[in-house]
Amino acid sequence: MKSRNIIDSFNNAIKGLIHGFKAERNIKIHFVIALLVLIAAVLADLSKLEVILLFITVAMVIAAELFNTAIERMIDMVHPDYHPLAEAAKNMAAGAVLVTAAGAMMVGYIIFYNRINSLSLSFVRRIRNAPIHVTVISLIIIVIIVIMLKSFNFRGNFLKGGMPSGHSALAFSLFTSITLLSKSALISTLSMLMALMVIHSRYEAGIHTLAEITIGAFLGMLLTIIVFELFQIVV
């Protein structure tokens, strides 16, 4: 009977995790970021201590978001009408998520900084002489391809809605160009934050789904890298 209760506890915990993932888009975002970070950790060949720190920070962020969701559900159930104390409690819970997310970003940046810097410098050595018109060409190609893809699914236009996200593609194309042309991991990181702010605004406004934004970002990065690589082959 005791073992069955333990199994039930695990099942209930998994149900809660699945419910949070389905119901809260912020939890979806945290899971996607966690997946990308862990993939980057494998590719970067981190030490055991660095991997442990990443696991702890990722777990803290997801756990904080789950606690935040649970607190919001409890407050809505006990006090469905507006109350300033209920609002304050929700804001503080959201603040806890913000603190853990900011801490996780700092840990990730410190761990990956040297590897990002060396990687960006290796790219820069290959294409630092690429003229600015290569970036413009890549942006034009992305605009054309996004318009073509949206014409196939007949939903949305380039500036609003549809698969893939044009804003996401252009934002990550610019991020990729800045990364390839600059000699600083700091500049690359700042441009990435700007790109993330763009796609977050599109997602929060409900203009694009997570899949549309993700595919747009991947498309923007991939096409930009291909254009730069083709320029090197031609030159």
CB 82 within 8 A of CB 60: no
Q: In this structure, which amino acid lies at residue 12?
A: N
- Cα separation, 172 vs 217, in Å, equals 5
- Cα separation, 63 vs 27, in Å, equals 10
Q: Which of 203, 159, 182 is nearest to 28 (CA)?
A: 203
- Cα separation, 13 vs 21, in Å, equals 12
Task: Supply the residues annotated as catalytic.
Answer: 65
More confident residue, 140 or 221: 221
Cβ neighbours of residue 137 under 8 Å, at least 6 residues apart? 227
pLDDT digits (tens, 9 = 90+) for 3-35: 457 777 777 777 777 777 777 777 777 787 887
Mean pLDDT value of segment 197-222:
81
Average pLDDT, the chain: 75
pLDDT exceeds 80 at position 198: yes
Residue 19's CB: how many other CB atoms inside 10 A?
A: 14
pLDDT at 216: 83
CB 58 within 8 A of CB 37: yes
pLDDT at 150: 63
Sign of CA dihedral 92, 93, 96, 101: negative
pTM greater than the 0.85 cutoff: no
pLDDT exceeds 50 at position 2: no
pLDDT exceeds 80 at position 175: yes
Determine what percent of the chain is predicted with pLDDT higher than 70. 73
C-alpha separations of 175 from 12, 17, 104, 225 in Å = 42, 33, 21, 11
1-114 folds as Helix Hairpins (1.10.287)
Rg of the chain in Å (alpha carbons) = 21
- Cα separation, 12 vs 16, in Å, equals 6
Cβ neighbours of residue 79 under 8 Å, at least 6 residues apart? 86
For the ranges 34-38, 70-74, 159-163, 186-190, the maximum mean pLDDT occurs at 70-74
pLDDT exceeds 60 at position 186: yes
pLDDT at 84: 84
pLDDT at 98: 86
* Centroid of chain to Cα 36: 8
Mean pLDDT value of segment 149-163:
60
